[in-house]
A and B are shown apart, each in its own frame.
Chain A
Amino acid sequence: MVKIAEEWLNSCSGCEIAILNIGDVLVDLLPSLEFVHIPVLIDKKYYGQTGEGTELDIPEAVVGIVSGGVKNEEHLEVLKKMRERVQILIALGTCATDGGIPALANMYSNDEIRDFVYRESPTTVDGPDPDVKNNHIPDMLEKCSALDEHVKVDLKLPGCPPHPDWIAAAILSLLDEKNVLELPEKSVCDTCPTIRERKKGIGDIKRMLETPDYDPEKPISDMRCLLEQGFMCLGPVTKAGCSGMSGEAPRCISARVPCRGCYGPVRDDRIPLVDYVGALATVGYDPARMPDRRGYLCRFNGGHGVLKKLG
């Protein structure tokens, strides 16, 4: 029996649905797991069950799983409490490992965000900003950040959302040390079966306003690489793993659309914004002609300060 505490921070609940998408196997795993705290499923409260406490608390557990990045004071408080209460802390999903989509907010200041939402929006009758001093609501932090910017993280399971295979494998490895968890270290391209002809592309980089060339009756392995077809596919700079352990093609490619980087940078020390320039040049496209570079190349990893540094 392993005690688990789970929390979600600046997130969307997709990671929690991915946990449920372990499916039938989850029913078999459940008797070996004791969830002591998981807001999506269990009614454990921070301030006591009738709300009379004044200090936020989370029960002790062996494993803590946290999805979402950190964008406000409560996220930070919950994360720190979680770190204090658990032995092994898992960052679940790309928001937790790299900031994820919500870290795109780092391109704007909180004032700009609040000005739009509470005053400039065309349907909104001008109002004040939330009053964090006189109400029980947390102040926003200036940046949305990955968990490891604040606490030590023991295991990172990226993905938006992470494939259920990896979540199940991680749980199994915690139940029995004989089950070794081996996460992919390759890039999406390394696991993509599309054909690379190694011929240089011609013309401009294409936006997804047109459809790639492929025969729907034929498998993905008969389609030419989308990057070679001139579409901005972020496969070269993105960590593999989105199709789980199935050995199938990367998920977006299987839907005949290019990768957008949702598993985060292929290695922690790499910066897609820099590396992609080389990848584009290799296939013959001019990186300078790429629109909205930050919006593509920092789409999922803005939680490590890249948007600030290079913005």
Chain B
Amino acid sequence: MSKTLRVAPITRIEGHAGFEIMLDDSGNVADARMLVMSLRGFEKFVVGRPVEEVSRIVNRICGICPWQHHLASNKAADLCLGAEVPETGKKLRELCQMLAYIPDKILHFYFLAAPDFVLGPGADYSVRNVVGVVGAVPDLAKQVVHMRYKTQMALEKFAGKVIHPIAAVVGGFSKPLLEDERKELLEVVKEAKDFCLFTIKFARENVFPKYLEAVKTLGVFPSGYIGTVDGDGSLELFDGQLRLMDMDGEYDQFDYADYQDYIAEHVEDWSYLKFPYIKKAGGIKLDENDPVGVYRSNCLARINVCDQMKTPLAQEELEIFRKEFGRPAHLTLLYHWARLIELVQCCERAEDLLNDPKITGREIRAEGIKPQAGEGVGCVEAPRGTLIHHYKTDSDGMVEKANLIVGTTHNNAGMNLSIKQAAKAVIKDGNYDEEVMNLIEMAVRAYDP
């Protein structure tokens, strides 16, 4: 008899979702999909607010990547009000973004993803979690908690608030970095870099090889990818151009302001979350064997679209990765690996910025900013993918229209296909259990939604 399995909430992710699997009469998967349960309405309720306030509102879209929303919003507001951010202001913003990335990636790898790998996908749910990880590898776990905490608090100390930040302001940054603060941050970043280099080596040698079978089975389908690159085609997280690659590796590269020419969004009536797709494809088809218009975001996407990494140690890691998996790499579980390659770049980039003499400059904000009618598209790369914040203001500098396409939304189609493909791979003739369900969830968890 046909039936529907309804698994909710999807756990050890940073958002709210569930999935359902429709089984046919013989117990095989007829269909499967990820359901996003809610709509908060940010695009609507920022309308009417002064545009310089919006970066302090939209950071609440995500409590894990509030910095990226805060920065993308400020960039859009800069453009609306015609504010030219001084060089030091830009560098301080980027520094905060890098510092925010480090604990985020540590959190995902060790707290959210590691239980599947350290304790195994089939371990009982009561131990397959961070508490179980602490029990299994107590010394490493203590170090992880400490390192994550230290990097979070270092940013909080400098920028006032680490969760739901406030320190970027339209036209630049609210306070300069003092020399003592610079030295203190540099010490933390050096320690973090060592820890992150240890992490990727440990994962590459001890974790990923054990799970290559899962990597090659769960969430396997080709897709396009989106990410930001700098003028040399290097992986960029803070500011550059968008690159949208199709599943064969061909790409378009364009300015943020032109995003509407390349991306469109499709609506399904069974999810609150829309499905962005490659406009050129003419539409979207959620078929894991023959996907149309589907592209993905987040670290694996960025690793795929870039020609190289921006920093030397991260580049060494990319070369190891590409030698094994090529470009573009389509296997969903490789998100975990790509995440750690980016983590290395974030540490190196933070170190570079802190060693830049301009970082302690005093010209941090544009002057003479006045309310005006304008329009701006601000983008940055968040851990979960490209953020597009597009605002229009009236002559009082109040928001008239806002359009947002944010990290995980780009991955909606990809996550749906991952669930469908994984479910078909592991559920046969009505045989499924808790481990099977967790294997399917692992194909979503990889996206860190």
A residues bordering B, Cβ < 8 Å?
A: 8, 10-18, 20-21, 23-24, 26-27, 30, 35, 39-47, 49-53, 71-72, 74-75, 100-102, 104-105, 107-108, 112-114, 116-118, 121-131, 134-138, 140, 160-161, 207-211, 216-217, 242, 251-252, 254-257, 260, 262, 291-292, 295-296, 299
Choose one: A52, A123, A160; the contact of B60 (CB below 8 Å): A160
Most-contacted residue by chain B among A41, A160, A208 (CB, 10 A): A208
Chain A residues with Cβ under 8 A from B13's Cβ? 40
Distance from B167 Cβ to chain A, minimum over Cβ atoms (Å): 5
Q: Is B387 an interface residue (CB 8 A)?
A: no
B139 to chain A, nearest CB (A): 11
CB atoms of B9 and A46 under 8 A apart:
yes
Q: List the A side residues contacting B5 at CB < 8 Å.
A: 50-52
Contact residues in A for B49 (Cβ distance below 8 Å): 292, 295
A252 CB contact (under 8 Å) in B39, B161, B268: B161
Alpha-carbon separation in the docked complex, A74 to B169 (Å): 36
Asked if B57 and A72 sit within 8 Å, CB to CB, the answer is no
Question: B190 contacts the other chain (Cβ, under 8 Å)?
Answer: no
Residue contact B276 to A123, C-beta cutoff 8 Å: yes
Contacts of A46 in B (CB 8 A): 8-9
Asked if B269 and A129 make an inter-chain contact with CB atoms under 8 angstroms apart, the answer reads yes
A130 touches B125 (CB 8 A): no
Q: By the criterion of a CB under 8 Å from any partner CB, how many residues of chain B are at the interface?
A: 105
Interface pair B56/A45, CB less than 8 Å apart: no
**4 shortest interchain CB distances as A-B pairs:** A127-B267, A14-B63, A255-B160, A23-B149
B267 touches A104 (CB 8 A): no
Determine if B146 and A24 form an interchain contact, defined as CB atoms under 8 angstroms apart: yes
Q: Which of A8, A126, A130, A210 has the most CB of B within 10 A?
A: A130
Residues 377 to 421 of chain B near chain A (Cβ within 8 Å): 390, 396-398, 403, 405
Contact A108 B44 (CB under 8 A): yes
Among the listed stretches B14-22, B208-216, B311-319, B344-352, which one makes contact with chain A, having 4 or more residues with CB under 8 Å of it? B14-22
Task: Give the contacting residue for B264; candidates A11, A124, A138; CB below 8 A.
Answer: A124
Q: Which residue of B lies closest to A255 (CB)?
A: B160
- Separation of A129 and B8 alpha carbons in the complex (Å): 22
Docked CA distance A11–B63 (Å): 8
B66 interface contact, C-beta 8 A: yes
Q: Say whether B39 contacts A117, CB under 8 Å.
A: yes
Chain A min CB distance to B216 (Å)? 24
CB distance from A219 to the nearest CB of B (A): 12
The reply to whether A256 and B174 contact each other, CB–CB distance below 8 Å, is yes
B443 to chain A, nearest CB (A): 14
- Given known contacts A24-B146, A254-B160, A260-B56, is B266 in contact with A127 (CB within 8 Å)? yes
Q: Please tell me if the beta carbons of A42 and B405 are within 8 angstroms of each other in the complex.
A: no
Residue contact B269 to A130, C-beta cutoff 8 Å? yes
With beta carbons under 8 angstroms apart, the residue of B9, B263, B266, B271 that contacts A130 is B271
Q: Give, as a whole number of angstroms, the nearest-CB distance from B449 to chain A.
A: 11
Contact B7 A125 (CB under 8 A): no
B11 in contact with A42 (CB, 8 Å): yes
Other-chain contact of B434, A17, A50, A217 (Cβ < 8 Å)? A50
Q: How far is the CA of A26 from the CA of B148 in the complex (A)?
A: 12
Known: A113-B44, A121-B265. A12 touches B365 (CB 8 A): no
**B40 CB-CB contact with A under 8 Å:** yes
Given contacts A15-B63, A102-B40, A121-B265, 11 further A-B contacts (CB under 8 A): A13-B64, A42-B129, A43-B125, A44-B125, A50-B7, A50-B434, A52-B5, A114-B39, A121-B43, A123-B260, A209-B52
Identify which of B35, B41, B43 gathers the most chain A CB atoms within 10 Å of its CB.
B41
Decide if B62 is an interface residue (CB 8 Å cutoff). Answer: yes
Q: Are A43 and B128 in contact (CB under 8 A)?
A: yes
Verify A255–B141 contact, CB threshold 8 A: no
Least CB distance from B194 to A in Å reads 19
Q: How far is the CA of A42 from the CA of B441 in the complex (A)?
A: 13
What are the residues of chain A within 8 A of B441 when measuring CB–CB?
43
CB neighbors of A among B13-49 (8 A): 13-16, 18, 20-21, 35-41, 43-45, 48-49
- In the bound complex, do residue A124 and residue B267 qualify as a contact, i.e. CB atoms below 8 Å apart? yes
- B160 x A252 contact (CB < 8 A): yes
Known: A39-B9, A255-B175. A291 touches B125 (CB 8 A): no
Closest to B150 in A: A23
CB-contacts of B61-100 with A (<8 A): 61-64, 66, 81
| 16 CB < 8 A contacts A-B | A11-B63, A13-B62, A24-B149, A46-B8, A47-B7, A49-B434, A49-B437, A51-B8, A51-B21, A52-B3, A116-B43, A124-B274, A128-B267, A136-B8, A291-B398, A292-B50
Q: Provide the bound-state CA to CA distance between A299 and B57, in Å.
A: 9
A296 to B57 CA separation, bound complex (whole angstroms) = 11
Per-position binary interface string of chain B over residues 203-243, scored 1 when its CB falls under 8 Å from any chain A CB and 0 otherwise:
00000000000000000000000000000000000000000
- B160 near A123 with CB under 8 A, answer no
Q: How far is the CA of A27 from the CA of B149 in the complex (A)?
A: 11
Instruction: Report the nearest B residue to A45, measured CB to CB.
Output: B7
B357-373 CB mask vs A (1 if < 8 Å, else 0) is 00000100101011100
Let me know if B166 and A252 touch, CB within 8 A: yes
A17 touches B160 (CB 8 A): no
Q: Are B35 and A136 in contact (CB under 8 A)?
A: yes
Neighbouring A residues of B269 by C-beta, 8 Å:
127-131, 134-135
Min CB–CB distance B256 → chain A (angstroms): 13
Is the pair A292, B63 in contact by a Cβ cutoff of 8 Å?
Answer: no
Is B12 at the interface (CB under 8 A from chain A)?
yes
Q: How many angstroms from the CA of A11 to the CA of B14 in the assembled complex?
A: 11
Q: When the two chains form their complex, are residues B63 and A217 in contact, meaning their CB atoms are under 8 A apart?
A: no
- Distance in angstroms from A289 CB to nearest chain B CB is 12
Contact A291 B145 (CB under 8 A): no
| A20, A23, A100, A295: the one within 8 Å of B107 (CB) | A20
Given A123-B265, A131-B270, A255-B175: A136 and B164 interface contact (C-beta under 8 Å):
no
B53 x A295 contact (CB < 8 A):
yes
B270–A41 CB distance below 8 A: no
List A contacts of B169 (CB < 8 A): 208, 211, 257
B6 lies within 8 A of A136 (CB) = yes
B111 at the interface (CB under 8 A from A): yes
Closest Cβ neighbor of A249 among chain B residues: B160
Cα separation A44 to B438 with both chains bound (whole Å): 11
Contacts of B148 in A (CB 8 A): 20
Q: Is B159 an interface residue (CB 8 A)?
A: yes
Q: A45 contacts B160, CB within 8 Å? A: no
Q: Would you give the shortest CB distance from A49 to chain B, in whole angstroms?
A: 5
Q: Are A21 and B8 in contact (CB under 8 A)?
A: no
Q: Roughly how many angstroms separate A43 CA and B18 CA in the complex, as a whole number?
A: 12
Chain B positions within 8 Å of A26 at CB level? 145
Task: For A43, give its contact among B11, B45, B61, B176 (CB under 8 Å).
Answer: B11
Contact, CB under 8 Å: B43 / A117: yes
A161 adjacent to B20 (CB under 8 Å): no
Please tell me if the beta carbons of B14 and A127 are within 8 angstroms of each other in the complex: no
- Bound-complex Cα distance A134 to B53 (A): 39
Task: Tell whether B131 is near chain A: CB-to-CB under 8 Å.
Answer: yes
